[in-house]
Structure formats: structure tokens, C-alpha cells
Chains A and B, each alone.
Chain A
Amino acid sequence: MAEVELKGVRKVYPNGAEAIRGVDMQITDGELVVFVGPSGCGKSTLLRMVAGLETITEGEISIGGRVINDVSPSDRDVAMVFQNYALYPHMTVRGNMSYGLKNRKIPKDEITRIVEETAKMLRIDDYLDRQPNELSGGQRQRVAMGRAIVRNPKVFLFDEPLSNLDAKLRVQMRIEIKRLQRRMNVTSIYVTHDQTEAMTLADRLAVINEGRVEQMGAPMELYTNPRTLFVASFIGAPQMNLIPVRFDGTDLGDGVSRFSGFSDLPMDTDLVLGVRPDILSIMEDGQLDFRVDLVEQHGGENLIYGTIVGSDQGAAHGLEICLKANQQMLPKVEDTLQLGFDPAKAFVFRKDTGERLV
């Protein structure tokens, strides 16, 4: 049970590459924080710095009030679940789970008790004497989690633990991890690039981009109130529609269509209008002329992809737009529809800085 604090944390590699450019963060006791971002954004590096697998160039990381910059990984009271499980291939499941405890000189019968209890909780008690290569991916994942749990750490670290599993198992394990974390109430940091995983698991979400935390908050807060263009485009599936526009004093225009209902925006600046697929709707007097390219039927709803009519003038490709509609809405390819949206639910960003204006 501990809070984790990051203060001005930076990571610069010997070759001068800057992986983490100053991160401040406070994670409260028992919270599950998810680091999400595109690959190469530094989210794994940040997690590995907490784990002690990467050195901290500058700044301070503390767990439960103790600065751990110079504490060895095994003394940090953290346990990590790796992407490829990282089980010891020459040990049985029992051996894998008790290895860390043995090294801490915990009495043998105590180890047996803890390992068996945990194995039962994770439903791997039937496999205790098997080798990792005799287990399925999901079972290995449980063993990896068991190995972390038996250590009774102050903080759990998950490094994309589900990305090696198939889609069905991934959903199942996701729910299980969430339940387990609730039950054990241990502070956890979870790294993923999968935004569904991030949204569903997190108490709070930290969107990381180029070594910086772009925004941190509850998943729904990030969804409804993104502070930057990057966060807006990263959170939400399907992705938010982004339409490059300019403000002429009364309306926003992209050269083809005009969107009213906006005011107090800077003129002569490139802006980006952000409209989520689910607030777009088909209406008689819609401002957007939309030509259908493709309809994806997802069962409960249909995703309709297409381009804005006229937007391909002077450009190689037309501006692609996605719209979420109910399952009865099944337009034909090449149909032209009129789309509209509630301007109060749309976002406007500056193109150069990514800062949100509306």
C-alpha cells in the first residue's frame, strides 16, 4: 500500500536521445493508473524507471514516501508483469512463483502456503508442477501475475501484459486484472497502446506523447474534455474526425463547407475542427456533403466511412470521415448524404500547437 510520486523525471540516453522530458505525477494509494500512447512515446521507459530497470537521469521517483532512485530493483517493493511473461523456462510454475520469496529468505512452509493460496486464487493450482512451455498463453499470463502477487508488493507494474493474447482472452484477462486489482487494492501502473484497454481499466489515464504527459485524468474526462489535439485524436475508437478549417469571423470553413455556431476564435490561423463519429448524424440541412465509401456492420451499430464531397480538389485524397449510425442505417456505396452535428459537442484546436480552443 503506497502512493507513487514522480518529480521532474527525465531520461536521457548516453547517445543524447531524450526519452522522458520531465514528468510530474502523483499516484494515490490503491489507484490503477494507465500509461497510454503510441509506440516509442516513452511509456514503457517510464514504467521501467519505476521498476528500476532503467536509470533515472534527472528527477525523483518515490514509493510510499521513500525516494527509490538508487534502490536496487529487488528492494523497491514493486512487482512487474512483462509483455512476454518472462517466466523462467527451467523452473516449474511453483518454482517460478517461489523464486523471489526464496531469495528473500522466507521460511519454506510459508512460501508453500502463499504460493498455493495465490495459485488457487488465479486458478492455476492444477499446474503448479508443470513447466511454462506446457502451458497455454493465458495460463502463462496467470503464472506471471501469480509471481507478481506472491511478493505482496507495494506497487504492481504491468508492461503491456495482454498484447500477446488472442482477442477473446485479452478481454477476459482484462476484466480479471481489474477485479484482482480492486480486490487486492494495490497501487498499479499499467502500460498499453490499446486505448480500449486503457479506457476500461484505468482509474486515471495518462496520455503520453514524445516523453511528456499530455494529459492525465479519469478516462471519461479525457474523452469528453481533451486538452490537446493529440489526446482528442488518441482517445476514442473510431478516431475523432479532424477537419482542417479557418475562422472568418462568423463561421468555420474548410473551403467547401461552412460550419456555424462558433465564435471568439482567432482569424488567419490554421485550426482543426474535431468531431467524434457518434455526434455526426444524417440530417436534411446538414453542412457536410458526404460520399459513402464503405460500411462496416458491427452488429449493434454501423460505421460508415466516406469522404467530404469537394475536398479532393487540389489534394490527392479527399478528407476521410467516419460516422457512427444505428444498424438500420445502411447507405449504398457512392450514395451522397448530408451530415450535421451539434457545434456545442465539437472541439476546435490550433493546428500548430495542438492547444484546444473550444
Chain B
Amino acid sequence: MKRVQFEHSPIPYLFVAPQLLIIAIFFLWPAGQAVYQSFLLEDAFGLSSQFVWFRNYADTIFNDSWLQAAWFTAIFSTLVTLLSLGLALLLAVKANEVIRGASTYKTLLMWAYAIAPPVAGLMGNLMFNPLIGDMYHFMNSFGYDFDHKLHEVDAGFVVILISVWKQVSVNFIFFLSGLQGIPKSVTEAATMDCKSPTRRFWTITFPLLAPTTFFLMVTNITYAFFETFGIIDTTTQGAPGGATTTLVYKVFQDGFRGADIGGSSAQSVVLMLVVLVLTVIQFRFIERKVHY
């Protein structure tokens, strides 16, 4: 065969250049900056700096408020991921069974997707406002002294509720399209093989949704880690007493409010490593059980 190769043509590189440029400018450069900054001790005005090796890291990791934030992040992201996946799956399964008015129903369920996290946070903030918030009064109407400004658990409940509500719609869309991708005849064959709908769901439908579930799990954990920033900032701002401070929110607080650039950079580097490890674990141990 005749060799037709454009061996030294620069064209392919030109085509990928914009993407590479974006990655370099918006990811590699800031990430490199963060790593560099994390080794520096700087005064609040950025006038002088000193190279301090790993002191920022040591200060960060062996710090009660960081450990508290890490613990809250773990609980928060686990609950947000599990709840938003579970609720979305339940809604998708039910919506998939609806025949009349199906599209209206689906559209309504997808609506929350169009709302930005800070807006969702603001809405939540209004709903839990002690003066005019319906949710606030509703929670108190059971005789329980609900106050998210005072009680840590209540504050956690508010941010988790809003974060889950915001995320359910995205998950719903993916689960629904996943369900619709299951061939009808396979479901029918299962109907003839297995009488119990619950058992059918866990033995046929759920395993066939595994690729969707895995994908959503990865994106939802990322969402809980990073994107919920907007929700926390517009509702509790990490209060009371740092009880609802996630790792990302703490990076922001220490860096921009506390003007501790070095410490906040060290935290973001650690956070990056945590997410990296989590992603590796997910792909290593969970993806293996996924049948595409």
C-alpha cells in the first residue's frame, strides 16, 4: 500500500491548540500557581514572601478547623450524593411508568436543572428565613426547636436539602434516558421470568443502569465537593461555628477573607489530591462492577 501521511504537517496541532491553550491558561497555570504559593508564607498585602517548605501543609492538616471541615465534607458529599441519586432514581422509575401527561411531568421534574447553585441557595435562604420562611415555620410546627443559625445539625440539614434539591433534576434526566435505553423486550422477558417487580428492578433494571449510576456518582461527588460552594455561601456561610464549612468553602474563607494565601493554597493542593484519590478509587473498584 502507498503511504499517504502528512508527517510533519502542523495542522493537527493547530486544531488542538485552542483546547490546549484553555487547559494551560485556566487549569495548569493556576494549579501551578497554587502549588508554588503553598510553599510561601506571605503577608496580608502581598508585599513580602518567604519560602517555608511544608509549613503551610503542616499547619493546615494538623488544624482542628480543617479536620472539622474535612469531616463535614465527607458526611455532606456522601449524603448529597446518595440522596440525590436515590431520589432521582425513584422519580425516574416512576416517571418512566407514567403514560398520560408524561412529558409535562418530566419537564416539571427537570426544571430545577436551569437554576444556578447560588440562586438555589438564595431561594433556600428565603424559605428558611426565621421571619418569612415557610420551611422554617413548617419545621418548627412539629414542636421541634428548629434553628439553622444555632444548631449544627439543622444548618447541615438546610445545605444538604438545598444541594440535593438542586441536583436531583440533573440526575433525573440521566436516569430517565438510561431507563429509556433499556430495550422494552428485555423488560418484558423479565416480566415473564420474575413475578416480583422489586426483585425485577434490582436484578435487571438496576444492573443495566449501572453505567449511568457510575457516571452520575462521579459527577455528583464532584458537585458536592465544589459546586455547592454557591449554596453554602448564600445560606449558612459555613456557620454556625464552621459546622457547614466544606473544604472548598474553607479554602475561600482562609484565602480571601483571612488573606492567608499560602495556607489556602496548601489546602487546595490537598483537596486536589483528595479528589484525585477518590476518582482513582471510583474507577478502580466500582467501575469494574459496571457492565457497559
Contact = CB atoms under 8 A, between A and B. Distances in A.
Interface of A: 51-53, 72-75, 78-80, 82-84, 86-90, 99-100, 103, 147, 151
A98 to B, nearest CB: 10
Given A88-B204, A89-B208, A90-B208, A100 B194 contact: yes
B186 interface: yes
Given A84-B185, A86-B185, A90-B208, A74 B192 contact: yes
B94 interface: no
Interface residues of B, number: 19
Contacts of A88: 186, 189-190, 204
Contacts of A72: 195
A79 B207 contact: no
Contacts of B204: 88
Contacts of B291: 89-90
B8 interface: no
A90 B188 contact: no
A231 to B, nearest CB: 30
A53 B291 CA distance: 27
Given A88-B186, A88-B204, A90-B208, A80 B194 contact: no
A74 B210 CA distance: 25
A74 B191 contact: yes
A2 to B, nearest CB: 16
Given A99-B194, A100-B194, A80 B207 contact: no
A347 to B, nearest CB: 39
Interface of B: 183, 185-186, 188-196, 199, 203-204, 207-208, 210, 291
Interface of B is mostly: helix
B211 to A, nearest CB: 10
B191 A73 contact: yes
A151 B207 CA distance: 23
B194 A103 contact: yes
Contacts of B192: 51-53, 73-74, 78-80, 100
Contacts of B193: 74, 99-100, 103, 147, 151
A72 B204 CA distance: 18
Nearest 3 CB-CB pairings of A with B = A100-B193, A86-B185, A86-B189
Given A78-B192, A84-B185, 14 more contacts: A53-B192, A73-B192, A80-B189, A86-B183, A86-B185, A86-B186, A88-B190, A88-B204, A89-B208, A89-B291, A99-B190, A99-B203, A100-B192, A103-B199
Given A74-B195, A99-B193, A86 B188 contact: yes
Nearest to B184: A86
Nearest to A131: B291
B127 to A, nearest CB: 40
A100 B196 CA distance: 12
B171 to A, nearest CB: 21
7 contacts: A52-B192, A53-B188, A53-B191, A74-B194, A83-B185, A100-B192, A151-B193
Nearest to A83: B185
A72 B188 CA distance: 12
Nearest to A144: B189
A52 B190 CA distance: 12
B185 A75 contact: no
A208 to B, nearest CB: 21
A103 B185 contact: no
B189 A82 contact: yes
B186 A89 contact: yes
Given A73-B191, A73-B192, A90-B291, A82 B208 contact: no
A72 B189 CA distance: 13
Nearest to B204: A88
A34 B204 CA distance: 31
